[in-house]
Amino acid sequence: MTRVLLVDDETLVRAALTMMLDGAEGIRVVGEAADGADVPDAVAACFPDVVLMDLRMPRVGGIAATRRLRARPNPPEVIVLTTFDTDENVVEALRAGAAGFLLKDSPPARIVAAVRQVASGEPMLSPQITRRLMAHVTDRADAARRARAALAALTPRERDVAVAVAGGEGNAEIGAALGMGVPTVKAHVSSILAKLELNNRTQLALLVHDAELL
C-alpha cells in the first residue's frame, strides 16, 4: 500500500485528489495539510511514502517545504502538483528534491501513475514539463555558448577584470586583487564594455554569469 499525504491550500482540490487516489488500487490517502508549514507535523503523524505538494500556499510554499522535508532523514518522495509551470518553478522544485512535477490538469490516470512510479523510486515529469525543461536547458546552453564566444574577445587581463566585476567587486578591490591601480582598472572596464558593446557593468556581470564563469 502506497501512503499519500496531500498538501494544498484548496479544500476542494484535496477532496478531489482524495476521491481519485483512494479509488486506485494500492494507494491510500493517509493525511492532508493546507500549508507547507504544516508538512513536518503531518509527515510525523501519518508516515507517507509520497507527498503531493502544491506550490503556492499562504505561509510556506511548496518549494521551501520540499527542501526542508527532503533534508530530513528518510524523507518521503515529493511530487509537485500545481497550476504554475514556469521554467523557474520546475527547476527550483527539482533542485529542492522533488521526484515529480505535474500540472493539476493532468489526467487522473497520469497522477495515479506518477504516485506509483515515484513510490517505486523512479522520477516522473508530465510530457509538457519535460519539453519545457529540455527547452530551458537548451536555452541556457545556447546562452552560455554565446557568452563565452563574446568573452573570447577579451585579453586574459580583461577577462580577470570582467569576472571580478561580475563578482560585485569595486574598482579599488579589483585593483588590490589584481595588482593594478584604480585608473588602470577603470581603463580596463571601459575597454571591456567597448569591445563587448555593453552599456554598463551590470550587463557585463550578466554576460559573465551566462558564461558560467562564476
Mark whether 114 and 172 lie in a shared domain: no
Mark whether 6 and 54 lie in a shared domain: yes
The rounded mean pLDDT for the chain is: 88
Residues 94-102: what's their mean pLDDT?
84
Encode pLDDT of 120-132 as tens digits: 877 777 666 666 6
Tell me which of 132, 167, 188 is where a domain ends. 132
171: containing domain: 153-210
Mark whether 160 and 116 lie in a shared domain: no
Mark whether 117 and 196 lie in a shared domain: no
Query: pTM for the full model?
Result: 0.64
Domain harbouring 54, CATH code? 3.40.50.2300
Mark whether 45 and 128 lie in a shared domain: yes
Mark whether 75 and 105 lie in a shared domain: yes
Mark whether 11 and 55 lie in a shared domain: yes
Encode pLDDT of 86-97 as tens digits: 767 777 887 788
Mark whether 124 and 172 lie in a shared domain: no
Mark whether 124 and 162 lie in a shared domain: no
Mark whether 40 and 103 lie in a shared domain: yes
Q: Is residue 140 part of a domain?
A: no
Mark whether 127 and 205 lie in a shared domain: no
Q: Is residue 147 part of a domain?
A: no
Helix (H, G, I), strand (E, B) or coil at 125: strand
> How many domains, in total, are found in the chain?
2
Mark whether 65 and 117 lie in a shared domain: yes
Q: Is residue 143 part of a domain?
A: no
Domain harbouring 205, CATH code? 1.10.10.10
Tell me the C-alpha to C-alpha distance, in Å, between residue 86 and each of 13, 90, 91, 103, 128: 21, 6, 9, 11, 11
Tell me which of 97, 132, 167 is where a domain ends. 132
Residue 192 contacts by C-beta under 8 Å, 6 or more apart in sequence? 154, 158, 161, 162, 165, 198, 204
pLDDT for 138 beyond 70: no
Q: Is residue 61 part of a domain?
A: yes
Q: Residue 192: which H helix or E strand, with range?
A: helix 182-196
- pLDDT above 90: percentage of residues in the chain: 58
Residue 122 grid coordinates: 523512479
pLDDT for 133 beyond 70: no
Q: Is residue 148 part of a domain?
A: no
